[in-house]
A and B are shown apart, each in its own frame.
Chain A
Amino acid sequence: MRVLDHPILGRLEARRKVTITVDGQPVEAFEGEPILAALLAKGIRVNRITKKRHEPRGLFCGIGRCTDCVMVVNGVPNVRTCVTPVAEGMTVETQQGLGKWGKAK
């Protein structure tokens, strides 16, 4: 959910929108925001499934340190979604285990 109105920060400025594909579905995002933020805005909180125990993981540190939020982005596994900005046409996939390399864009 987006924080549209804020008592200190004011109204959320309108920004250019881009469309990314998340697990095959189109998702609208604001240009330049982290992938993770665009997903949270849609209520998506599971970013990957661990290799050994098949457990879900999501946002933990939010500053690129813990690597819990990594996903397969444009065919590249282990991309930290909390510090990687979205871009028009980007494909994002929930990472299974260590992730598989796909077709790079």
Chain B
Amino acid sequence: MTRSDVTIIGAGPAGLAAAIEAARAGAKVVLVDENARPGGQLFKQIHKFFGSREHFAGTRGIDLARKLCQEAQELGVQLVLDTAAFAIYDGRIVAGTTPKGTVQIESERIILATGAMENTFSFKGWTKPGVMGAGAAQTMINLHRVLPGSRILMVGSGNVGLIVTYQLLQAGADVVAVIEALPKIGGYAVHAAKVRRAGVPILTSHTVLEAKGEPEVSSAVICQLDDFKPVAGTEREVEVDTVCLAVGLTPLAELAWMAGCQCEYLPALGGFVPVHDERMETTVKGIFVAGDVTGVEEASTAIEEGRLAGIAAAASLGLLSPDEAEERMTAAWERLAALRMGPFGEGRQAAKEQLMKVGKAG
């Protein structure tokens, strides 16, 4: 059995940041990921982040991933890749499955940074080849450099829908329209403007009724909505070979559930999420959380939460003095507060506060 001070599950932005902070404080860190390389979803984010410089504005996700991976490596973080963590026993043993069998890692502290998965929704024909998650399409074009289709209908105008639309255009596909069930666009205005400048219409109060074609998608039927109800007579068939669904994400909280961490249902954060305190510790002592698993946000917020969890885990092992830990955590909290400002961040900020209130009361 492998032993470590801190075992982190998930090597995306949150997990990498947690690993870096814990290792910098002197902890022996093991970072587990089911993929063949670390970086999580950052490697498909080829767009530049915005905000302020300390939030990596102007940096592309792919470059940030390389930087974080290099830093973790330099600090001696032990990467355990191709390993899907499937269980936590006694709050301290992580079990994982690899192509060669199972492994166990015993550690003093565990940080769950398992991320989130895409939501879907069902309509007639939604199981046909050609209907897929927007993130799936993004993985294919940016990571594997293949197009999953050539004429695309994007369902959902949140940031994922808008950004992936633009990236599909960059990869050489046609996006015939972005449709949105709500009466207004979900994502940032800058992303929406970019999509519109490229000539892609964004149709609000619209949904998809059916994906047609045998055996794969060759068209889709869309229609207008009035208060989320289809308006009769507005149906029209659009010629597309691909329908991408960008309808939100759900936190991957299974391991937290299994370990006995209390979870709360907070729609603003994407569903059931593990309750945590200001040190990112869950209701199970020694198990911390960071990133999308405890509320779907962005890579930049995931990094800050990862830092908090890494610092807190190291401090709880006596590797940082209370003053040092306090100072570093305060700085991270200030950056998080800045990231959660504005009309898009406020809802998440309020939900996060509620989550931590439960954590304190717990």
Contact = CB atoms under 8 A, between A and B. Distances in A.
Interface of A: 1-4, 6-9, 12, 33-34, 36-37, 40-41, 45-47, 55-65, 68, 82-83, 85
A64 B33 CA distance: 13
Contact of A12 (B46, B133, B145): B145
A64 B60 contact: no
Contacts of B36: 85
Nearest to A1: B147
B136 A61 contact: yes
A50 B183 CA distance: 37
Interface residues on B, range: 20 to 34
B117 interface: yes
A45 B146 contact: no
Contacts of B118: 61
Contacts of B141: 3
Contacts of A59: 129, 132, 136, 140, 148
A56 B129 contact: yes
A30 to B, nearest CB: 9
Contact of A61 (B46, B133, B146, B147): B133
Given A8-B60, A9-B46, A46 B171 contact: no
Contact of B135 (A46, A57, A63, A83): A63
B139 interface: yes
Interface in B132-164: 132-133, 135-137, 139-142, 144-150
Contacts of A63: 117, 135-136, 139
Given A56-B216, A59-B129, A62-B133, 12 more contacts: A2-B145, A2-B147, A36-B140, A36-B144, A41-B146, A46-B129, A58-B128, A59-B136, A61-B132, A61-B135, A61-B136, A82-B136
B131 interface: yes
Nearest to A47: B129
Nearest to B35: A83
A68 B148 CA distance: 15
Most A CB within 10 A of own CB, among B118, B120, B146, B150: B146
A59 B140 CA distance: 10
B130 interface: yes
